[in-house]
Every structure is written in structure tokens, then in C-alpha cells.
């Protein structure tokens, strides 16, 4: 949102012109040449020119300019306009403790002037009352302008800060959504793609396999590709449902969308990995868990199996789940060092390293924590603890 700043370049010339006009009117009304002659009248004009020229620096040094120009008003009537402008400037740009001495100096200057040149119709005391009221009004006007400018600046700063905070929140929301999409895509597709790569690699290394084995492997590849597409469609459907669309019906095919996997789908995940040739041993010592907790635990096991398939192909994998309400749910996926790791290193499935990062984010969002690293026997361990609240009875 662009902020429109009004053009104020005309104000300084206008104020200086007003000061010149007011000083000339006062000068012509007072007619100093009648009392003192032409030389004094000329000096009066020179003092007015000097005081008016000093107004150019009034915003930078308002109080020093006031202290230098106001005393000229005791002798030179042409400086009256410049005196009013500099008094107003001090009231606008300086606090009250600086304004009061300048205002008092203005009143004192006027008092001295009227002592030297008394008015024939108005008593000196009444003149001083009038000057004091005039100065008070002038100072009040300047302080009002000062307060109004401070209010406008405060509102502008608040609006700019609110706009910046809104942009920051929008950027954070976009970043969070990107991370969420990347996490969901990785969780769903990495497992399927690793299965595809594993079966395709088996065909590559066994070109002389019997036809029925090749056909069986091709069938597994086809099913895995189909399931990967289904999982991708599922993720897109969930993301669209969060944007306001229905998640009950698949957006592409019109078929009912599959529910998100939970611990109830863990047996199918393990069976799928075993069918791909992995040796998986599972110990599940938990019963029914909340849907959100079960979904996170499922993703942990899925990522652990995917990593083992990528980096420790052929090594056995141990999956353990244990816990209770109030104590939390612990998910562990261990595998020893792969046999012939150096020989088969070139055939390993490449990884971007984002799976564990996304899993850590998922665990943190659930209020849990993730630990991973090598074991003493050269293997790898993935351990995630997730809070399991006690249901109120």
C-alpha cells in the first residue's frame, strides 16, 4: 500500500512572504521616519531583512534564531512578522519547556517596545494583556500543529508496521504451506518410488531371469506406479480440501478419496515392504491410538523403511512401537550395516536428505521429538517420541 505524502514545499515561501507582508504593514503603520528620521527608518528595514533572512534556518536552530531575532523587535517594527513566524516554529518543533522562555522573551520585547513608543489611546497594561493573549494563541496553534503531526506520524508508523507484519505473516504462511506440501509429497511418494527403483534394479541385474519372474516384477512395478499415482491424487485432494474444497470425493476421478493412513494400515505397509524383498521384523505393543497420533507414527515407520531400502538394501529392519496414554508413543526403526556396502554403494537409491527434515518437522508439530544416527555396529537408528494424551473420562 503506497503512502501519499502531501506536497509541502510551498509552505516555507508562503510563511516568509507572510512575515514580510506583516512586517511591512507594521512598519508602514508605525511610520518610524516621522519620529526618528530617514536613517533610523532605514536601519529598521535592514533589521527586518536580517530577521526575515534568518527564517531560512529556523527549522534547524529554532530557539537560537528566536533568541537572536526577537530582541530586534524592541527597536525595529519591521521584524514583527519574522518574530511571529519564529515563535510559531519553536512551538511546532520544540517541547513546552523550550517554548515558554521564547514566548516570555517575545512578551518582554513587546513590553520594552511599548515603553519606548507608548500608544496614545491604549494603556500599557492593556497592551501587554493583548500581547500575552496573542502570544498564547500563537503558541497554542503551534502546539496543536505539533500534536497533530505527531499523531499523523504515529498513525502512519502504525499502519506501516501493521502492513509489514501482515506481509510477514503471509510470507510465513506461504513458507509453511510449501514445507507442508513438500513433507506430504515426500512421505507419500518416496516410499513408492523407492519400491519402483528396487524392483527395476532387480530386473536390471537379472536380465536372464525366467519370464514368469520378469512378469511378476513388472506387475509389482505397475501396481507400485498405480499406487503412487493414487497416493499423489490423495495428497492433492487433502491440500485442496484445506483450501475449502471437499475431501470426500477425489477431484480428478470423482471417486471417494482414500482416508489418511494410520496404525491400522501398518500391517499392509510391512507386508508391502516384505513383498519387495525386505526382511522386516515388527513389534507393535500398542492398541488403538488417536487418529492424528497413528498417522504420524505410520509416517515415521514409512520413512524408516524407505531410508533402510535406500541406504541399507538387504539388511534386516527392526520396527518397534510401544507406549501408553500419558507416557507417549515411541517408534523405533533400526537396521544394521548393509552386507557388501562398499560393493553396492553405486547401486543405492539416491536421496535428497529432506525426508528426515520433514519427519522432524512433523514430530515437532505433534509436540514430539526425533533422534537419529549411527549405532555402534555401524547400522542406523531412527527413534521418535510422540505425546499420547490421556483421554478424559
Domain boundaries, the chain: 11-164, 262-341+351-393
**Given the DSSP bridges, would you call strands 380-386 and 369-374 parallel, antiparallel or unpaired?**
antiparallel
pLDDT at 54: 78
Query: What sign has the CA pseudo-torsion 117, 120, 125, 129?
Result: negative
Distance CA 358, CA 374 (A): 19
Q: How far apart are CA 325 and CA 391, in angstroms?
A: 8
Strand order in the sheet with 317-324: 280-285, 317-324, 328-335, 380-386, 369-374
Residues of the chain with pLDDT under 70: 1-10, 12, 23-24, 27-38, 40, 187-188, 191, 199, 202, 234-235, 237-259, 339-354, 392-393
| The predicted structure's pLDDT at residue 10 | 67
Question: Domain 262-341+351-393: which topology?
Answer: Heat Shock Protein 90 (3.30.565)
- Complete DSSP assignment for 92-144: HHS-HHHHHHHHHHHHHHHHHHHHHS--SSS-HHHHHHHHHHHHHHHHHHHHH
| Residues of the chain above pLDDT 70, percent | 79
Q: Give pTM, 2 decimals.
A: 0.49
pLDDT tens profile 180-192? 777 777 766 776 7
* Closest by Cα among 110, 127, 13 to 71: 110
Q: Which three cell numbers stand for residue 9?
A: 514545499
C-beta separation of 80 from 26 below 8 A:
yes
Kindly report the CA angle at 358 between 382 and 232, in degrees rounded to 5? 110
CA distance 258 to 272: 18
Coil/strand/helix, residue 322: strand
Residue 351 neighbours by CB under 8 Å, 6+ apart = 190, 307, 310, 311
Enter the C-alpha cell of residue 185: 509429497
Calpha distance 303→359 (Å, rounded): 8
How far, CA to CA in Å, does 373 sit from each of 224, 282, 383?
A: 29, 20, 9
Instruction: Find the helix packing angle between 96-116 and 80-93, rounded to 10°.
Output: 160
Helices 80-93 and 38-54, packing angle to 10 deg = 20
Cell of 193: 518410488
User: Is 310:349 a contact under the CB 8 Å cutoff?
Assistant: yes
pLDDT of residue 329: 94
Angle, in degrees to the nearest 10, between helices 62-69 and 80-93: 150
Who contacts 201 (Cβ-Cβ below 8 Å, separation ≥6)?
347
User: Which H or E run includes 284?
Assistant: strand 280-285
Contact 3, 156 (CB under 8 A): yes
Report the pLDDT value the prediction gives residue 32, as an integer from 0 to 100. 55
Amino acid at each position: 500500500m503506497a503512502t501519499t505524502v502531501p506536497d509541502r514545499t510551498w509552505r516555507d515561501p508562503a510563511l516568509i512572504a507572510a512575515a514580510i507582508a506583516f512586517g511591512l504593514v507594521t512598519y508602514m503603520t508605525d511610520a518610524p521616519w516621522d519620529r526618528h528620521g530617514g536613517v533610523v527608518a532605514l536601519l529598521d528595514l535592514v533589521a527586518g531583512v536580517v530577521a526575515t533572512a534568518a527564517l531560512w534556518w529556523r527549522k534547524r536552530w529554532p530557539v537560537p534564531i528566536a533568541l537572536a531575532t526577537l530582541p530586534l523587535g524592541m527597536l525595529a517594527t519591521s521584524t514583527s512578522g519574522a518574530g511571529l513566524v519564529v515563535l510559531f516554529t519553536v512551538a511546532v518543533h520544540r517541547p513546552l519547556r523550550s517554548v515558554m522562555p521564547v514566548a516570555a522573551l517575545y512578551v518582554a520585547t513587546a513590553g520594552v517596545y511599548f515603553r519606548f513608543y507608548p500608544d496614545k489611546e491604549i494603556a500599557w497594561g492593556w497592551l501587554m494583556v493583548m500581547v500575552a493573549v496573542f502570544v498564547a494563541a500563537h503558541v497554542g496553534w503551534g502546539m496543536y500543529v505539533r500534536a497533530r503531526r505527531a499523531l499523523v506520524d504515529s498513525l502512519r508508523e502504525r499502519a506501516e508496521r501493521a502492513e509489514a507484519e501482515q506481509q510477514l505473516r503471509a510470507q510465513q504462511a506461504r513458507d509453511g504451506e510449501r514445507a507442508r506440501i513438500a513433507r506430504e509429497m515426500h512421505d507419500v511418494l518416496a516410499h513408492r518410488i523407492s519400491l519402483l527403483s528396487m524392483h527395476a534394479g532387480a530386473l536390471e541385474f537379472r536380465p536372464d531371469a525366467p519370464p514368469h519372474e520378469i512378469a511378476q516384477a513388472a506387475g509389482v512395478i505397475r501396481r507400485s506406479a498405480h499406487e503412487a499415482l493414487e497416493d499423489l491424487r490423495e495428497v492433492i485432494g487433502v491440500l485442496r480440501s484445506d483450501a475449502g474444497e471437499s475431501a470426500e470425493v477425489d477431484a480428478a476421478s470423482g471417486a471417494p478419496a482414500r482416508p489418511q493412513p494410520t496404525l491400522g494400515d501398518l500391517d499392509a505397509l510391512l507386508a508391502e515392504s516384505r513383498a519387495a524383498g525386505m526382511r522386516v521384523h515388527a513389534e507393535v505393543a500398542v492398541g488403538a491410538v488417536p487418529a492424528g497420533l497413528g498417522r504420524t507414527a505410520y509416517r515415521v515407520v514409512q520413512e524408516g523403511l524407505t531410508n533402510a531400502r535406500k541406504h541399507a538394501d538387504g539388511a534386516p529392519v527392526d520396527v518397534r512401537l510401544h507406549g501408553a496414554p500419558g507416557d507417549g508413543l515411541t517408534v523405533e526403526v533400526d537396521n544394521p550395516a548393509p552386507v557388501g556396502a562398499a560393493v553396492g554403494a553405486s547401486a543405492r537409491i539416491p536421496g535428497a536428505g529432506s525426508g528426515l527434515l520433514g519427519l522432524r518437522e512433523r514430530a515437532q508439530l505433534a509436540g514430539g521429538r526425533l533422534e537419529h544416527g549411527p549405532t555402534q555396529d555401524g547400522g542406523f537408528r531412527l527413534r521418535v517420541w510422540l505425546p499420547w494424551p490421556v483421554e478424559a473420562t
